[in-house]
A and B are shown apart, each in its own frame.
Chain A
Amino acid sequence: MIQGIGVTDFFIISTLMFFMGVYGFITRKNLITILIAIELILNAVAINFVIINKYLYPEGLHGQIFSIFIIAVAAAEVAIAIAIVIDFYRTHKSVSVEEGEMMKY
């Protein structure tokens, strides 16, 4: 519980972060930027977990544990995603997502 800041303010922040992430994911062409957008989405969710835990159910710790999970999973995911991006760069000489459309019809 933080004095002077309501739960709504946090929700506004996390919602903004989430949709910025979604927007970035859809519009950016650079794979690295897309990865950053994914991080934004994940972290928005992590903030939500912590805030809901802290403000609505202060006696429990579930939300905080979940946010730790998210951080761990995000780290793993980034490792894999970077590997994919590097490999993608080797084969396509580019990190533009538009190059990766071989798997179409």
Chain B
Amino acid sequence: MDWSYTIWIPLLPLIGFLIIGFVGRKLPYPVPGLIGTTGIFGALVLSYITAYRYFFVANTAGSFEPIKGVEMLWMTFSDKLHFNMGVLLDPISVMMLVVVTTVSFLVHLYSIGYMKGDPGFGRFFTFLSLFTFSMLGLVVATNLFQIYFFWELVGVSSYLLIGFYYEKPSAILASKKAFIVTRFADFFFLIGILVISYYTGTFDFLTLNGMSESTLASVGSASFMGMSVLALGLTLAFIGGAGKSAMFPLHIWLPDAMEGPTPVSALIHAATMVVAGVFLVARLFPMYYHVDGGSVLHIIAFVGATSSLIAAIIATTQMDIKRVLAFSTMSQIGYMMLALGVSGYEGHHGLGYTASMFHLFTHAFFKSLLFLGAGSIIHAVHSNYMTKMGGLRKYMPITHITFLLAALAIAGIPPFAGFFSKDAILDAAYMHNKIYFWIGWFVAGLTAFYMFRLYFRIFWYEDREYHHTPHESPLTMTLPLMILAVLSVVAGFVFFYFLPFGTYITPTGEEFHMHIDYFLAGISVLVGIVGIVIAWIMYFKKNDKAEKVAKAFGAFYKWTYNKFYIDEIYMFVTKKIMFGIISAGWMWFDTYIVDGSMNLIGNTTVKTSHALKKIQSGKLQDYVYGVVLGVVALAVIFIYIWTR
């Protein structure tokens, strides 16, 4: 089968980016939006065609082999060192194509309404198209170099979009923070890539994943600090993934990234870019599983579980609705990481991997729906703080219903999407390690609680007076909400019963049968309902129970409200210790020796030139005088030479 057309999936948004960026930015509303949306719509259609052909036409034998749709040489340095670019089609990349193009298309559509009247309308769509191109390039990467290349591109576009409102100092700070933190993590990723490719001699994912346990053990036989080098390389790569996916303790950028426009939060910081870390681990999963007997996976599971717990606890206390959603995202990505970390490889043991991808898939829909709903609310109320909201259900019926559906989905209530994927994750955790299961179970309860706290606080709680009566958003904004709401409702059982994920997306490519463990499902739904009921008691009607509970927790509440002071710890470490103590000597050297010598050269030049410029007097006769003197001098010299 011919797959060469798949190159157009990332290229169409790139063309959109170039057109809007170079000629379309000043075009009147809504032309730049339409150009961007058209480009991504083309990519969407091609992705769906690819998914259909890949899953239902090309691979009918029940096993899904990776296919290289396109592969070309990008740069050659020597015979051994050359970089390729291409399109790799395998179950997870095809699934990611569908997720990214779907969410991106709906977010583009939504943004046409949301960004109306913004002076940066064209600029917004330029960056959004750039991001979509980068993300699509990332998911179809055929090798470590290509994934790193696009990894940095999504980082840049995320930076540009977080800092979109560049008049606001807080947005600038947030964009810098996001860029520096993720870049710091990417540095480890780069070292990881170098280590892995140095020892295995290849960048190619198929070659890397195709290596058997014994091959990996022999090529990575060197050891470093008690780990084999390949395990070290994979751990470093995971640190890069953890930075992008906002895992504890590199999560500090994600809540601040909410300074960007809300559609950006929905697309980048909920559905696509932040799951790049999960995708990276899944992409190299056979390697993670085989190197050192899967020791790196233990780290991943631990980090995932910790992040999901910490984020869920913080989310229960935040007052900014977008920050609640940001911490919720971090918590759900922690779930995905946990699922990958506890996953086995063959057959039904690969459930964790499948569950992780399944949760990534469903989460993309309901979390972007929550963010877009939040955007719709912010659009109407002009505030991010839930204290400024309440009783909105009467004013915004569509947003209300879609938000409720998404909240039910994330709370894991059957038959909504989140139930199936979360149940699969808990199932996988239970098979591996009971402690992880109970952490996941507790987080499920917390998730239901904070999500319904948000829901009740925004849409019920009290009937308050608004300065401007809030109104429902226009159709370009509510249509994506409705589509995503439908997906959030059906994505779970359709992909559990009719097109089961276990058939299509597994570590080995061989299908296995997914089923529900009714005991585990029962207790996780139970804890979800308990969370919802507590939220209902505390926030359904205006009362002071929430304050009382906060008081009862005392210092712990204060800690949590301040996000466990992790930002402050970072500030202390960077400002006081690194800048203040460690680099003070270098600072002195840099200021006085390096800068000093350069300033000396510069100042000398300036002073000399000030003196010399007097020569250019502008007076014609001075110049002629110079010429005559020169001629006389030359004449004397020549006469002296010739008459000697």
Contacts and interface: CB of A to CB of B under 8 A. Distances in A.
Interface in A50-104: 97-98, 100-104
Nearest to B616: A105
B625 A101 contact: no
A20 interface: no
Contacts of B639: none
B214 interface: no
B80 interface: no
A25 interface: yes
Question: Chain B: interface residue count, which band?
Answer: 10 to 19
B615 to A, nearest CB: 9
Interface string B607-643: 0000001101111110011001000000000000000
A101 B618 CA distance: 4
A73 B473 CA distance: 82
A101 B539 CA distance: 82
Contacts, number: 28
B621 A101 contact: no
Contacts of B625: 26
B624 A26 contact: yes
A22 interface: yes
Contacts of A98: 619
Interface centre among A98, A101, A102, A104 (most CB of B within 10 A): A104
Interface residues of A, number: 12
A100 B620 contact: yes
Contacts of B617: 101, 104
A102 B620 CA distance: 11
A102 B618 contact: yes
A26 B616 contact: no
Nearest to B628: A22
Nearest to A22: B628
B616 A101 contact: no
Nearest to A101: B618
Interface in A1-46: 22, 25-27
Given A97-B620, A100-B620, A105 B613 contact: yes
19 contacts: A22-B628, A25-B624, A26-B621, A26-B624, A26-B625, A26-B628, A97-B620, A97-B621, A98-B619, A100-B618, A100-B619, A100-B620, A101-B617, A101-B618, A101-B619, A102-B618, A103-B618, A105-B613, A105-B618
Interface of B: 613-614, 616-621, 624-625, 628
